[in-house]
């Protein structure tokens, strides 16, 4: 996502805002997918999205307004590295488990 959203003129706070908007837009775009998964799995996916946004916003709060995008990404990496499993990896694992248990 960083490569898609980052432009030379953008600072870290602007990148964080762009990332949150992109995540929410992608989630909204795929909202109909909840029809094809269990309510438990949809909650796991929603939680992963929210945790990812929370980490981005926390990292953005930790940098100065003039810091560039690399400062933000460094903070995000620090937060992600402190987790035992990344939110999106947790969601992907749950998706795989549900898919495999469905008999496909």
Beta carbons within 8 Å of 43's beta carbon, 6+ residues apart: none
Integer angstrom CA distances of residue 103 from 37, 64, 75, 93: 14, 50, 41, 16
Mean pLDDT (whole number) for 71-96? 95
Q: Are 79 and 55 in contact (CB under 8 A)?
A: yes
Maximum average pLDDT range among 6-20, 23-37, 64-78: 64-78
pTM of the entire predicted model: 0.88
The domain total for the chain is 1
- Which domain covers residue 13, as residue numbers? 2-101
Higher pLDDT, 8 or 18: 18
Is the four-CA dihedral 16, 47, 38, 92 of positive or negative sign?
positive
């Amino acid at each position: 996502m960083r490569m898609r959203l980052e432009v030379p003129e953008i600072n870290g706070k602007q990148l964080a805002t762009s990332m949150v908007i992109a995540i929410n837009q992608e989630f909204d775009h795929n909202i109909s997918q909840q029809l094809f998964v269990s309510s438990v799995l949809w909650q796991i996916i929603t939680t992963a999205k929210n945790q990812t946004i929370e980490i981005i916003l926390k990292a953005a709060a930790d940098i100065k307004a003039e810091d560039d995008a690399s400062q933000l990404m460094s903070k995000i990496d620090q937060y992600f590295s402190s987790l035992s499993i990344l939110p999106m990896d947790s969601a992907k694992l749950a998706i795989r488990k549900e898919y495999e248990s469905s008999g496909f």
